[in-house]
Homo-oligomer: A and B are copies of this chain.
Amino acid sequence: MWERPEPPDRPVLAPLSRERIVRAAIRLADADGLDAVSLRKVAAALDVGPMRLYGYIATKEELLDLMVDAVHAEIRPAGDGWRAVLYSLAEAIRHAAHQHEWLADLLGGRPQLGPNTLASGEAVAAGMAGVDLDTLVPAIAAVNAYVIGAVRREITERRAERASGMDQRQWQVAFGPYLRRAFATGRFPTLATVVHEGPHLDADDTFRAGLDYVLDGIGARISH
C-alpha cells in the first residue's frame, strides 16, 4: 500500500449536457465541414472519452438531428401577411445556411420534429392565419421544398468556387475548357447559347427570383 500512489487528481470530469455536445459539434462543422464531425473529435473537443457521448445521444444521426434543430432556434419567421411570412421563412433558412454551410447537407434529409423546428413551423402557421388550410399546407410545403433545393445548390456552387481558387470566376477557368469542349461537340446548341447569352444572375437574385415565382403562384391560388 505504501508503494501504491494516491490516485492522481482526477480531472474534474467535465460536466456534460446535450447542449454542450451539440454546440461543440456545430463549432466543428462550421470550421471544417460535416466530415470533421466525428464522435471522437466532438468528444476530444470536450475533453472527454468518445463513449461518454453515448449517455446523451444514442447514435451519430441523433447528434446531426440535434444540430439541425439547434440551428432552427434562430429561424423565427415574422411579418405581416402570408407573403411576408413565407418570404421571411425562406430568407431565414438561407441566412442560417450561409452561417452553417453544413445545414445544406442535412436539410430535408431526415424527419425534423425537434422543438425548435416545431416552433418555427408554429410561427409560420400562426403568421398565415386566415389562409384556407387546403391552400396553406401545400403552400408551406412548396416554399420549404424550394428553399431546401435552392440553398443546397447555392452552397454547392459556393463550395465549388472556393475549391477551385478563391476567385469568383476562377471557376470558369477550371471548368471552362471542359465546357467549351462539350459545347464544341455541337450536342448542346441551345444550352450553349443560353450560357453565352443568358443573364448572369448572382446568388441573391437567383434565389429571390425563384422564390418570387413560388410566392406568385401561391398568391394566385389565394386570391383565386
Which chain A residues have a beta carbon within 8 Å of chain B's beta carbons? 105, 107-111, 113, 115, 118-119, 121-122, 125-126, 129, 133-134, 136-139, 141-142, 144-150, 152-153, 156-157, 160, 175, 178-179, 182, 187-191, 194, 197-199, 201, 205-206, 209-210, 212-218, 220-221
Kindly list chain B residues whose C-beta atoms are within 8 Å of the C-beta of A145.
146, 149-150, 152-153, 210
Kindly list chain B residues whose C-beta atoms are within 8 Å of the C-beta of A210.
138, 141-142, 145-146
Contacting pair B146 A214 (CB below 8 A): yes
Kindly list chain B residues whose C-beta atoms are within 8 Å of the C-beta of A191.
118, 121-122, 125
CB distance from A94 to the nearest CB of B (A): 11
Which 7 residue pairs of A and B lie closest in terms of their CB atoms, listed nearest first? A148-B149, A142-B210, A213-B217, A145-B149, A149-B149, A217-B217, A216-B217
